Amino acid sequence: TDPARIRNFCIIAHIDHGKSTLADRMLQVTGTVPDREMRAQYLDRMDIERERGITIKSQAVRMHWDADGTAYALNMIDTPGHVDFSYEVSRSLAACEGAILLVDAAQGIEAQTLANLYLAMENDLEIIPVLNKIDLPAADPERVSREIADLIGGNPEDILKVSGKTGAGVEELLDSVVQRIPAPVGDPDAPPRAMIFDSVYDAYRGVVTYVRMIDGKLSPREKVQMMSTGSDHEALEIGVSSPEPTPTKGLAVGEVGYLITGVKDVRQSKVGDTITSKRNPASEALPGYTDPKPMVFSGLYPLDGSDYPVLREALDKLKLEDAALQFEPETSVALGFGFRCGFLGLLHLEIVSERLRREFDLDLIATAPSVIYQVTTDDGKEVTVTNPSEYPDGKIASVREPVVKTAILAPKDYVGAIMELCQSRRGNLMGMEYLGERVELRYSMPLGEIVFDFFDHLKSRTQGYASLDYEPMGDQEADLVKVDILLQGEAVDAFSAIVHRDSAYAYGTMMAERLRKLIPRQQFEVPIQAAIGARVIARETIRAIRKDVLAKCYGGDISRKRKLLEKQKEGKKRMKMVGRVEVPQEAFIAALSGD
């Protein structure tokens, strides 16, 4: 295709503002998917995406559109809307010349609207602001148009109004994509350079790599090379999705399509990498490649210890399609054998554990999420800690913790409540700006405070109206301590936590109290203590009982006695021993889930 007849664009929006639904309507209006085959969220292929209504992996699709009697190829790239996947969003943006900035006409601008807009501006994209969901009775197009015009300039009246639900305004929107978004430019004669913006594992075809051709041309059967690693592969199939995969004779400058090389693991075909030809290699890779780094860690343990091999196999499988997932074996006194897993963020953690439950039928316990700490001991040793159990004993010289730049958007009535919450989480106010009826608050905050149920508190204090976005901004030294929870003098590793010194007492008393309620009485008294090193900061006691089940069976009914004994034995199987103390597994789960 002549680059002048190509338009590459993406849709960016806050989550739930209607990207996937608008994409559906575009597929329909352009005849890319016939009406009888249409189903909601056509491009969201993973079950969990469809059910939870979120896009995890981005997808690209080619559509035909006639404008002014000329046929155009429109490549639409659907991007994930969540902060955990912002690296993938930024790669999708780099594959485009323009972006539709979609804003829910009832909700207005939210935190990820801004985050995505800034990313699009950094990538020099032409931005087409669009109001969505104008069919909603609660829509307030005038107010939201003003918000948008205040933000990016222009006239509020000129902002397009659409409904992804009814299809209103969608044809006009496609026309303005052709008119306003620039055609791609590149050097057709240069050695080929294709940017990978997505890499998806498919059980039948192996890894499918989505690329945008920047320069030159790639053909099927050609030997291609990954520029970050130098590894080479054969391009077994090259094609475009429209929306089903359709092989083509190659991809030329400006085109968007896919490549199948037979690799089995997305780590061999990484998002952000540049593909070139082995025979005629480019000298320089395209800019922007970074390895996704896990930010949040949690231990995953099978409820039933015999599921451990299944869990390992399941993680191996997920890793094939998720380059950002990391894991290594770990053991816990309380929970047995499991894996320490690294995630991009909390949603990523949630998605992975849900897929393990659902697709592999695993019952799991997840330990409280933790971040990466850099600990320096008094004798100058540096230790990287992603798990409280790795925290060095003895004297600590300093601890550094990751800090994120946080943006919170909410109606201005909630400013006080939000500030109070952020201050209690050691946030530093960096700036505050009013956008019409809304306010944006910018804080620097320790990531460790955010992974600890911050979002839940933010939502409840703002009646669900606040939205949150964050990005890493380095690390800082902080007065952190490890709090251990001891049962009869034995530390229960799964409950240890690294917290700020000012919160240590609160954490210790909360956990001790929780466990006192959850652990049944034993034959002897069980002290529960919270301690920093050897110093006890909180204490509770579980009083002793004489647990004699047989006492209830007056007389000599032998069969009844036997039944009771067997029942007690069964119960014991689900008990974990901490020293001499029997703890039902449910108690661990309840204490970790913390209600």
Nearest distance, CB of residue 9 and ligand GDP, angstroms: 15
462 is in an annotated binding site: no
Residue 136: which of Mg ion, ligand GDP, none does it interact with, CB under 5 to 8 A by kind? Answer: ligand GDP
Nearest distance, CB of residue 440 and Mg ion, angstroms: 24
Residue 129: which of ligand GDP, Mg ion, none does it interact with, CB under 5 to 8 A by kind? Answer: none
Nearest distance, CB of residue 54 and Mg ion, angstroms: 6
Residue placing its CB nearer to Mg ion in the complex, 14 or 19 = 19
- DSSP collapsed to 3 states, 16-29: CCCHHHHHHHHHHH
Residue 529: which of Mg ion, ligand GDP, none does it interact with, CB under 5 to 8 A by kind? Answer: none
CA 345 to chain centre: 5
Residue placing its CB nearer to ligand GDP in the complex, 67 or 127 = 127
79 touching Mg ion, by CB under 5 A: no
Q: Quick one: 110 exposed, middle or buried, by C-beta within 10 A (0-12, 13-18, 19+)?
A: buried
Nearest distance, CB of residue 350 and Mg ion, angstroms: 16
Q: Produce one character per residue of 207-242: b if its CB has 16 or more CB atoms within 10 Å, e if not.
A: bbbbbbbbbbbbebebebbbbeeeeebebebbbbbb
Nearest distance, CB of residue 413 and ligand GDP, angstroms: 25
Residue 492: which of ligand GDP, Mg ion, none does it interact with, CB under 5 to 8 A by kind? Answer: none
CA 545 vs CA 245, 513, 522: distances in Å: 68, 19, 6
Which of these, 167, 169, 287, lies nearest to 227 by C-alpha position? 287
16 is in an annotated binding site: yes
Alpha-carbon torsion (570, 573, 575, 579), positive or negative:
positive
Cβ–Cβ < 8 Å for 525, 489: no
Residue placing its CB nearer to ligand GDP in the complex, 105 or 480 = 105
Residue placing its CB nearer to ligand GDP in the complex, 82 or 270 = 82
Binding-site size for Mg ion (CB under 5 A) equals 3
Nearest distance, CB of residue 54 and ligand GDP, angstroms: 6
Nearest distance, CB of residue 146 and Mg ion, angstroms: 26
Residue 242: which of ligand GDP, Mg ion, none does it interact with, CB under 5 to 8 A by kind? Answer: none
Residue placing its CB nearer to ligand GDP in the complex, 139 or 371 = 139
20 is in an annotated binding site: yes
Which of these, 255, 235, 256, 237, lies nearest to 247 by C-alpha position? 237
Residue placing its CB nearer to ligand GDP in the complex, 3 or 164 = 164
Give one DSSP letter per residue of 408-447, joined into a string: EEEEGGGHHHHHHHHHHTT-EEEEEEEETTEEEEEEEEEH
The 6-13 sheet, strands edge to edge: 59-67, 70-78, 6-13, 98-104, 126-132, 160-161
Residue placing its CB nearer to ligand GDP in the complex, 22 or 364 = 22
Give the residues lining the site for ligand GDP (CB under 6 A).
13, 15-21, 53-55, 81, 132-133, 135-136, 163-165
Of 55-63, 176-184, 308-316, 569-577, the window that binds Mg ion (rule: CB under 5 A) is: 55-63
Residue 150: which of ligand GDP, Mg ion, none does it interact with, CB under 5 to 8 A by kind? Answer: none
Residue placing its CB nearer to Mg ion in the complex, 102 or 407 = 102
* CA pair distance 466, 476, nearest whole angstrom: 27
Residue 17: which of Mg ion, ligand GDP, none does it interact with, CB under 5 to 8 A by kind? Answer: ligand GDP
The answer, yes or no, to whether the previous bond of 243 is cis (omega within 30 of 0) is yes
Residue 302: which of Mg ion, ligand GDP, none does it interact with, CB under 5 to 8 A by kind? Answer: none
CA 189 vs CA 218, 220, 252, 437: distances in Å: 12, 18, 10, 52
* CA pair distance 115, 521, nearest whole angstrom: 52
* Angle made by CA atoms 158, 163, 166, in degrees to the nearest 5: 140
Residue placing its CB nearer to Mg ion in the complex, 348 or 514 = 348
387 is in an annotated binding site: no
Beta-strand pair 6-13/98-104: parallel
Residue placing its CB nearer to ligand GDP in the complex, 163 or 298 = 163
* CA pair distance 168, 163, nearest whole angstrom: 5
Instruction: Report which residue's Cβ sits closest to Mg ion.
Output: 20
Those residues whose C-beta lies under 8 Å from the C-beta of residue 594, and which sit 6 or more positions away, are: 368, 514
* CA pair distance 151, 586, nearest whole angstrom: 51
Nearest distance, CB of residue 99 and ligand GDP, angstroms: 14
Residue 163: which of Mg ion, ligand GDP, none does it interact with, CB under 5 to 8 A by kind? Answer: ligand GDP
Residue 298: which of Mg ion, ligand GDP, none does it interact with, CB under 5 to 8 A by kind? Answer: none
* Angle made by CA atoms 375, 379, 380, in degrees to the nearest 5: 50
Q: How many Cα atoms within 13 Å fall on the side-chain side of residue 32? A: 29
Residue 16: which of ligand GDP, Mg ion, none does it interact with, CB under 5 to 8 A by kind? Answer: ligand GDP
> For tokens 């902002």, what's the residue?
159
Nearest distance, CB of residue 67 and ligand GDP, angstroms: 23
* Angle made by CA atoms 351, 354, 358, in degrees to the nearest 5: 135
Cβ–Cβ < 8 Å for 8, 254: yes
- Which residues in the 15-34 window bind Mg ion by CB under 5 A? 19-20
Cβ–Cβ < 8 Å for 217, 192: yes
Residue placing its CB nearer to ligand GDP in the complex, 54 or 407 = 54
CA 327 to chain centre: 16
Which of these, 58, 416, 375, 100, lies nearest to 212 by C-alpha position? 58
Of 47-55, 65-73, 299-307, 362-370, the window that binds Mg ion (rule: CB under 5 A) is: 47-55
Q: Which of 55, 113, 248, 406 binds Mg ion (CB under 5 A)?
A: 55
Residue 13: which of Mg ion, ligand GDP, none does it interact with, CB under 5 to 8 A by kind? Answer: ligand GDP
17 is in an annotated binding site: yes
Residue placing its CB nearer to Mg ion in the complex, 19 or 161 = 19
What is the distance between the terminal CA atoms of the chain, rounded to a whole angstrom?
58
* CA pair distance 587, 515, nearest whole angstrom: 7
134 is in an annotated binding site: yes
Nearest distance, CB of residue 381 and ligand GDP, angstroms: 46
Of 49-57, 231-239, 265-273, 356-364, the window that binds Mg ion (rule: CB under 5 A) is: 49-57
Nearest distance, CB of residue 197 and ligand GDP, angstroms: 18
Nearest distance, CB of residue 134 and ligand GDP, angstroms: 7
What are the residues binding Mg ion (CB under 5 A)? 19-20, 55
Task: Please give the annotated binding residues for GTP, written as ranges.
Answer: 16-21, 132-135
Task: Please give the annotated binding residues, written as ranges.
Answer: 16-21, 132-135
